[in-house]
Chain A
Amino acid sequence: MKILVGYKRVVDYNVRIQVKPDGSGVVTDGVKLSANPFDDIALEEALRLRDKGIATEVVVVTLGPADCQAHLRNGLAMGANRAIHVVTDQPVQPLTAARALLKLVEKEEPQIVLLGKQAIDDDANQTGQMLATLWGRPQATFASKVDATDSTALVIREVDAGLETLEVQLPAVITTDLRLNEPRFIKLPDIMKAKSKPMETINFADLGVEDGNHLKTSTYAPPAKRSRGVMVKDVAELVSALKAKGLA
């Protein structure tokens, strides 16, 4: 089977982002960009399914500006067979991303689409669910274990109450949680090999995706600052500080 993996580029998770003083956005110039951590986990899971002989081909997909090619090459170096780059300079909101992915799904006919549960920039947690809905196929979100056969997948999901198991018929959309796996590191020879792997480039406009119904963002603001705290020197001081606040 073929697995399609969504592979978004975002500001690196270790970066402390800054809101621009005029409130028009966050500072991204000169900031380190990386694969969305959840998408690395999605790609790793797809590669493991290929290692087990369940999948035969893993395709990574990115919607993003022209300079996303290096990012996709990383996905290829990690082990994906080929890459699809949908080129757009506009930020893509989840509904539009889901519609765009559906076009690719119709063309590629994967049995599993693996996406991260959320991107750590917009924190939306929507695209996988929207894709499954538009596609009319099952979803298993927040996956922490995936057992797939040719026709079904048994997925353990991390939910608030504990761990839920669903069995979904394929094709299906699975979104990854943190504990699904530990993504592999990229080795130097694989970076060289990745250079000769196929990368298809499609202009976003050529997909024929219906745009619109978007949310309009007016302002960006830093979060409210907490006032500076106090340091206490021992447990006795801590207890009296808590008592003073009525918390002990």
Chain B
Amino acid sequence: MSKILIVAEHLDGKLNPSTARCVSCAQAIDGAEIHVAVLSDSPDAVAAEAAKIDGVAKVLAVANAANAHPVAQVLAPQVAKLAEGYSHVFGPSTTFGKDLMPCVAALLGVAQVSDIMAVESSHVFKRPIYAGNAIITVEAPSSMTVVATVRTASWPQAGEGGSASVEPTSVTATLPEHTRFVELKQGKSDRPDLQGAAKVISGGRAMGSPDAFKIIYSLADKMGAAVGASRAAVDAGYVPNELQVGQTGKIIAPDLYVAIGISGAIQHLTGIKDAGTIVAINKDPEAPIFEIADIGLVGDLFQIVPELEKAL
């Protein structure tokens, strides 16, 4: 029987939806008992949210002032301690999980499975390599704890309606003091979160300037969509880095993805391959983005985008 511990991601007292996606992945393992660990300086509100996720049997609330900010080397010894008695420890394949989970794996002396996209059995998983251009089937050693990150774009959010018990839990572990959290500068936005949005509109280098990006924001607001960008648009300074979609940015799976002025480099395509419908608008009919687009339109984006906004 599999007993799975999921490390919750949270910020400002709110649970990140990636946690409920990890629960879906854990539920794909037959007969799994799923617990969620919330490590924080004040975990109560987040733990209460986690307890409502369908499929969660128990929430471990670990309160410690040292956990006020998610410093991987501080969290890892606690998670490794909590892992005792569990067959699996999962975290989301977000920057939080990618930073933390390899530390947990190293403390437990096991290899980590990165980016689980499918579960074959309790120890056999599918994961992407080479920017998603090959999918491998990997088997984790059966005698040891499975430490893994879950590719959030591959899994739906588990629903609400659960009523797990919340257990205040104390962990005895020596925590390092070699790292000081200084600050987090958040991109302020009223738009839907890029990773959870049902619709995403992205702009690329062809936008030409930060100012020109306004037509993307305007279209996104009309459609209730989140805004994303290619690496070229981020590097050119048109938008902040947290909007980057692709192999090294965010990997997303919205119902609708609209790529505007994006040529479609391999590294960008890996971030959107699982989108329900991909729409490409580009003036170059040979752009690689058209090879994976469900609907393509060749033309000048500065004409098409405002026209599209009006027509919707």
Where the two chains meet, the residues of A that have a C-beta atom closer than 8 Å to any C-beta of B are 11, 13-14, 16-17, 19, 26, 93-95, 98, 117-118, 120-130, 132-134, 136-142, 144, 154, 157-169, 172, 177-179, 213-223, 226-227, 229-239, 241-242, 245, 247-248
Contacts and interface: CB of A to CB of B under 8 A. Distances in A.
Nearest to A218: B137
Nearest to B133: A17
A215 B248 CA distance: 23
A21 B307 CA distance: 46
Contact of A164 (B183, B266, B267): B183
Interface string B172-190: 0000101111111111000
B290 interface: yes
A14 B102 CA distance: 28
Which applies to chain B's interface (DSSP): helix, strand, loop or mixed?
Answer: mixed
B103 interface: yes
A161 B187 contact: yes
Nearest to B223: A248
A136 B174 CA distance: 11
B12 to A, nearest CB: 9
Interface in B90-146: 94-96, 98-100, 102-103, 105-107, 109-115, 124, 128-141, 144
Interface stretch (B37-45, B51-59, B158-166, B291-299): B291-299
B106 A134 contact: yes
Contacts of A215: 111, 113, 138-141
A160 B266 contact: no
9 contacts: A117-B248, A123-B247, A125-B98, A125-B114, A129-B72, A130-B102, A138-B73, A162-B184, A215-B138
**Most chain A beta carbons < 10 A, residue from B96, B255, B295:** B295
B67 interface: no
B73 A132 contact: yes
**Most chain B beta carbons < 10 A, residue from A140, A226, A235:** A235
B242 A235 contact: no
A153 to B, nearest CB: 10
Contact of B290 (A126, A144, A231): A231
A166 B295 contact: no
B27 interface: no
Given A215-B111, A217-B136, A242-B279, A160 B247 contact: no
Contacts of A11: 130
Contacts of B124: 218
B95 A142 contact: yes
Contact of A133 (B73, B96, B135, B144): B73
A200 B5 CA distance: 44
Contacts of B240: 162
Nearest to B266: A16
Contacts of A233: 297
B308 A136 contact: no
B277 interface: yes
A241 B128 CA distance: 31
B199 interface: yes
Contacts of A159: 95-96, 184, 242
Contacts of A117: 248
Nearest to B93: A125
B304 interface: yes
Contacts of A136: 176
A232 to B, nearest CB: 5
Contacts of A163: 184-185, 241
A241 B278 CA distance: 12
B248 to A, nearest CB: 6
Given A13-B266, A95-B105, A141-B72, 14 more contacts: A94-B102, A95-B110, A120-B247, A123-B131, A133-B107, A154-B182, A159-B95, A165-B182, A220-B136, A221-B134, A222-B133, A234-B297, A239-B308, A247-B277
B261 to A, nearest CB: 15
B134 A216 contact: no
Contacts of A245: 277
Given A123-B115, A124-B114, A138-B178, A26 B106 contact: no
Contact of A213 (B111, B199, B247, B248): B111
B75 to A, nearest CB: 11
